[in-house]
Structure 1
């Protein structure tokens, strides 16, 4: 896939795709969420964090994805891509089928495309200030843009720690976890996301729309 770095084109190959789950840095909060989901019938993870393997074909740069039914939603997440000994930092959405999640979290991760931004940063250029980087997700709701998720990477386990635990190899990418949703997790027809660096004022941006397909039986 084609991306840009500092205005220059970069070609990245992603043969293996992972979604890191349960990556919150506050262990008590993570356990509370696990308990909440367990009460709804969602099986707890076998370990924390947990690395879900999904099809590399789910990663997309399309500004429109199609989903089955009304029960899916996106999540703003940092994206790590490793290729030829170089580690890149990007932005992606772990769009997930929430209805399917009740039956299998792993299956819910595989059910939807994962939109990614068209720009990346060199990981080494920002690794000393990762906790300062800011994530933002806005959704279109009632004809207006509403802040859905907002916070810094300090809320997520250190990316180097997630990278080490995942065993991520070459030509591989990993979505690294997300932030809590304001007003609760819910679907939306359009998303605007960003990963910004307060030191430089630069930002990676991702916008996409969702087309809902009917569920027929």
Structure 2
């Protein structure tokens, strides 16, 4: 079983054995814009969902606190997201990056999500302590060794954590060890997402605190086939 460990603002740490990992998708708050995005993806061969927003079950071991993601080819990329982590003592909010196989995505989004890890930050905030200004928390991503900004927005662009906690409760999934990753915000045009490094940051404008993660994308050796 994968275990995640988080540093909290009060100096304590919390360890969470992951029992369930879920990836939200098409989770923008403006669902008309989401529909337009689905149409764009369809032109690239990515099948659209029957229902939006979506929620994909992912193998729990793919929730990883790592600084290296190994991939099979050059068309994989991350997505800046937040993650909810349900614990015995409450809900944590942290940064995440859903690394996705774009070649596999055209055959099935759920398959593409299971091909690489959801990278999770090693620090977290208690959701109750930031709930009153969640929409103002910033979400950014940079790619490459030269840190090219590829995503820049706020949590207000996405369906909020309480929406997803309600969905989990309806399905009996709001139990300790559940990790839900939020879905992502728009990528900037003209920035190559197929980079050798991804970095994601959550920023709290009220306290000035940040939570970040970074990892290198490393190709696996060529197979013998």
TM-score (norm 1): 0.94
| Equivalent in the alignment of 1:179 | 185
- Is the aligned partner of 1:45 residue 2:52? no
Deviation, 1:180, is 0.7
- Deviates further, 36-45 or 105-114: 36-45
Q: Measure the CA separation in 1 of the matches of 2:123 and 2:115.
A: 25
| Equivalent in the alignment of 1:191 | 198
Contact 1:69 1:215 (8 Å CA) reproduced: no
Find the partner of 2:111 among 78, 92, 107: 107
Structure-to-structure mapping, 1:142-157, within 5 angstroms: 144-157=146-159
Deviation, 1:85, is 4.9
| Equivalent in the alignment of 1:17 | 21
Find the partner of 2:125 among 121, 129, 138: 121
Structure-to-structure mapping, 1:154-169, within 5 angstroms: 154-166=156-168, 167=171, 168-169=173-174
TM-score (norm 2): 0.91
Tell me, what secondary structure is at the counterpart of 1:12?
Answer: strand
| Equivalent in the alignment of 2:212 | 205
| Equivalent in the alignment of 1:83 | 87
- Is the aligned partner of 1:97 residue 2:104? no
**RMSD, matched Cα:** 1.4
Contact 2:21 2:60 (8 Å CA) reproduced: yes
- Deviates further, 175-184 or 113-122: 175-184
Deviation, 1:214, is 4.8
Distance change (3 Å), C-alpha of 1:160 and 1:215: farther
- Is the aligned partner of 1:3 residue 2:27? no
Contact 1:69 1:214 (8 Å CA) reproduced: no
CA-to-partner distance for each residue in 1:47-75, whole Å, 9 max, x for gaps?
11111000110011111110111110001
Contact 2:143 2:193 (8 Å CA) reproduced: no
Tell me, what secondary structure is at the counterpart of 1:103?
Answer: coil
Runs of at least 4 residues off by over 4 Å: none
Contact 1:15 1:172 (8 Å CA) reproduced: yes
Deviation, 1:160, is 0.7
Contact 2:165 2:174 (8 Å CA) reproduced: no
